[in-house]
């Protein structure tokens, strides 16, 4: 069972570029999330989804967009990358009363 | 929003020692999760514990929801226990979590 899979693991972007972080889960969870973790800090919620076709903003949504066309996939889109978006991004899913399960993270640097 | 405070922020242990990590939260919650972030950055589920006590090997956790705190006990610590321990509380039905800022544990051989 793969759990939550994120790609890529590392990426360097130039200011103003765009990219999509991919996230897929195989646990048939309805709820999926994107968090970012800045150095020495806890995680902050960017966006979340409660099912296919339904998404909503979290604490820090500015500069990001999401979509959820299937139960399994929840990509995060960065438009016009800025240095402030340098962070580690985690995708997670939950369902079935067992808490949240996290992917391995994507380390993004914007230069 | 809910405030989640963890203590201590840093902890250094000699291998074999025991420790207690604390998580205080500011509002009523119906669940709480403990994670271990290893030195490679991976977040590992430890406990999903709304109340009471759970044990898994050398680790155990206790949540007293009415008093708004949770404790994580690590017994006979090993160097592989090093990393950052986070508690997280969901702030609604959809399990959107508020995270504490973590306890950074360094277990020395």
Output the domain CATH number for residue A49: 2.60.40.10
A24–chain B nearest CA distance, Å = 16
Percentage of chain B surpassing pLDDT 90? 77
Check if B70 contacts A (Cβ < 8 Å): no
| Contact (CB<8Å) B42/A105 | yes
Residue A108 lies in a domain: no
Tokens linked to A26: 């195989």
- Helix H, strand E, coil C: the string for A38-105 is CCCCCEEEEEEEEECCEEEECCCCCCEEECCCCCCECCEEECCCCHHHCEEEEEEEECCCCCEEECCC
Residue A106 lies in a domain: no
**Preferred mutation among A10, A42, A68 to probe B, highest tally of B CBs within 10 A:** A42
Domain range for A33 is 4-100
User: CA nearest A5: which of A91, A108, A100, A107?
Assistant: A91
Domains identified in chain B and CATH numbers? 4-104 (2.60.40.10)
pLDDT digits (tens, 9 = 90+) for B66-80: 999 999 999 999 999
> What is the pLDDT averaged over residues B17-31?
92
Domain count, chain A: 1
pLDDT score recorded for residue A1: 63
Check if B38 contacts A (Cβ < 8 Å): no
| Contact (CB<8Å) B43/A42 | no
pLDDT score recorded for residue B43: 92
Query: Consecutive 10-residue runs of chain A (111 residues): their mean pLDDT?
Result: 91 97 96 94 93 94 97 96 97 86 95 97
Q: Helix (H, G, I), strand (E, B), or coil: what is residue B8? A: coil
User: What is the distance of C-alpha B65 from the center of its chain?
Assistant: 14
């Amino acid at each position: 069972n793969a759990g939550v899979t994120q790609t890529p693991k590392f990426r360097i972007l130039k200011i103003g570029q765009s990219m999509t972080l991919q996230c897929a889960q195989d646990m048939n969870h309805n709820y999926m999330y994107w968090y970012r973790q800045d150095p020495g800090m806890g995680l902050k919620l960017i966006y979340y989804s409660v099912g296919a076709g339904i998404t909503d903003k979290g604490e820090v949504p500015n500069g990001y967009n999401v979509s959820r066309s299937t139960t399994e996939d929840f990509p995060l889109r960065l438009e016009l990358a800025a240095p402030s978006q340098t962070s580690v991004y985690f995708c997670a899913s939950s369902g079935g009363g067992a808490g949240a399960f996290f992917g391995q993270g994507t380390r993004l640097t914007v230069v | 929003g809910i405030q989640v405070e963890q203590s201590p922020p840093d902890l250094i242990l000699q291998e074999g020692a025991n420790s207690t990590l604390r998580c205080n939260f500011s509002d009523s919650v119906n669940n709480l999760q403990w994670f271990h972030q290893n030195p490679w950055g991976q977040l590992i589920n430890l406990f999903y514990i709304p109340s009471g006590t759970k044990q898994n090997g050398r680790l155990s956790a206790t949540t007293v929801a009415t008093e708004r705190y949770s404790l994580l006990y690590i017994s006979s610590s090993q160097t592989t226990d090093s990393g950052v321990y986070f508690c997280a509380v969901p702030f609604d039905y959809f399990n959107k979590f508020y995270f504490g800022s973590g306890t950074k544990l360094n277990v020395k051989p």
